[in-house]
Chain A
Amino acid sequence: MAEPKKTQLNALHRELGGKMVEFGGYDMPVQFPTGVLKEHLHTRAACGLFDVSHMGQGALSGAGVAAAFEALVPGAIQELKPGQTRYTLLLNDQGGIRDDLMVTRPADDEDFSSLLLVVNAGTKDADFAHLAAHLGGKLAIERFEDRALLALQGPQAAAVFARHCPEAATMKFMTAAKLKVMGLDCIVWRSGYTGEDGYEISVPGDAAEDFARKLLAEPEVLPIGLGARDSLRLEAGLCLYGHDLDETTTPVEAALTWAIGKRRKMEKNFPGAEIIMNQLFDGASRKRVGILPLEKAPAREGTEIRSEAGETIGVITSGGFGPTVNAPIAMGYVPPAYAEDGTPLLLVVRGQARPARVAPMPFASHRYYRG
């Protein structure tokens, strides 16, 4: 296997005692000396800084960018207002999910000629190749390889960030702005993947370490690794691509139908639209649900789900211990007949069927800033 790549903060992670692992082709800190449990709780109580520079940043530009991009996703992109961000899905022709991503209409883009994209690390090369193959003739496609991406998350994130960027304080969840932060040209989003209020900040790569050090110098802020990022997003009920979503999973199965725009449902002109619309009307054979094990044993990814009658009906796609919930939590796929909240299930952990039930997500309430 190829040597894992390094983000602009790699040396800082090592200096801070990060325990490094390979993720999405990158050498990344899974935890710092604080440890996953306390990093998770600290993010919910105060503020955590995450390096997400491994994710793919880029832009599409050209006349008619929104309509052109809609050929690849089910989201209502043309309706985006300046500075608005939306979660959407790159779909294959069977309606399967190639990737999930954030798409933003820049705030200063009055004539709507560009879109900013943030895609997953493990899929970014395939994503940009897919974009080039389908849109390369019509649009300019740019990758921001020289930019880092940091996430500042938690209830103290707004107070901390206001010291460096007062303009960001009034930004609302799922909006973006180009702002000067510490004298640097940054793109700032009020967003994140923890369920907490906070920001994601695209920073010039050569200044990223200094930028991170200044945020870490704030008394509320601790560096947080990918371990806590994973437990935070699972508590928030958010999907991890390659685990909860993949090319064989449709938005209907993944319970992401809210990501299909109203107009797009009428137009039925996104990839796999026929399959997806049929599933919307007739139901899919499986659905992603939240699952609470009723005993203390966590049920990890790959755990078999059985009905109370003992029939194998599905599989856990993400599972572990939720530090804020202080109990095991999971998500997985079951047939619609078993998808109602409260439905009893069995999870086969180490050969033993253990009781669980379908539960609403998020497991920990979202605390986004909506103004």
Chain B
Amino acid sequence: MTVYFTDQHEWVSVDGEIATVGITTHAAEQLGDVVFVELPTIGKVVSARKEAAVVESVKAASDVYTPVSGEVVEANEAVAAEPAKVNEDPEGAGWFFKVKLSNHGDLSNLMDKAAYDAFVAANG
């Protein structure tokens, strides 16, 4: 399984046709305590780099962009029920939704872990 990262601070883990999307540890730290997550409905077709979910802290709401295009096949109801899971394990149990990839080419625009870490270091 390969994990990719975006400059909008999402990660996507690809297993065959299915991509799992969440926000990075860095993004979760920047947001602070997550108090609300709005997930896409199953069956919704999402487009790469467009808003697909919402994450809110006490202070503010932020969009979560999907790194890849495709149809949403699963949403993590556990984080909707218990938003603190996003802070506890952002790059694991705190995933947001799964997409059935419609364009594998989307992945070629993404960063690997080392490139993302360098991006975060360079951009604060």
| Residue ranges of A at the interface with B (Cβ–Cβ < 8 Å) | 30-31, 35-38, 40, 227-228, 230-231, 296-298, 300, 320-321, 323, 328, 350
Main secondary structure of the interface of A (DSSP, over half): mixed
| Residue ranges of B at the interface with A (Cβ–Cβ < 8 Å) | 32-33, 35-36, 38, 54, 56-61, 80
Cross-interface CB contact of B59 among A227, A328, A350, cutoff 8 Å: A227
Q: How many A-B residue pairs have CB under 8 A?
A: 47
Contact (Cβ within 8 A) A321 B35: yes
Given contacts A37-B58, A227-B59, A231-B58, contact A298 B32 (CB under 8 A): no
Contact (Cβ within 8 A) B61 A300: yes
Closest to A328 in B: B36
Closest to B57 in A: A36
Cross-interface CB contact of B58 among A296, A297, A320, A350, cutoff 8 Å: A320
Contact (Cβ within 8 A) A36 B38: no
17 more CB-based (< 8 A) A-B contacts, given A36-B33, A227-B58, A298-B61: A31-B59, A36-B32, A36-B58, A37-B33, A37-B35, A37-B57, A37-B58, A227-B32, A231-B58, A296-B36, A297-B36, A297-B56, A300-B60, A320-B59, A321-B56, A321-B58, A328-B36
Contact (Cβ within 8 A) A40 B58: yes
* B38 proximity list for chain A (CB < 8 A): 297, 350
Min CB–CB distance A148 → chain B (angstroms)? 25
A298 to B60, CA, bound (A): 9
Min CB–CB distance A350 → chain B (angstroms)? 7
Given contacts A227-B58, A231-B58, A298-B61, contact A321 B32 (CB under 8 A): no
Contact (Cβ within 8 A) B58 A323: yes
A231 to B58, CA, bound (A): 8
Contact (Cβ within 8 A) B35 A31: no
* A40 proximity list for chain B (CB < 8 A): 58
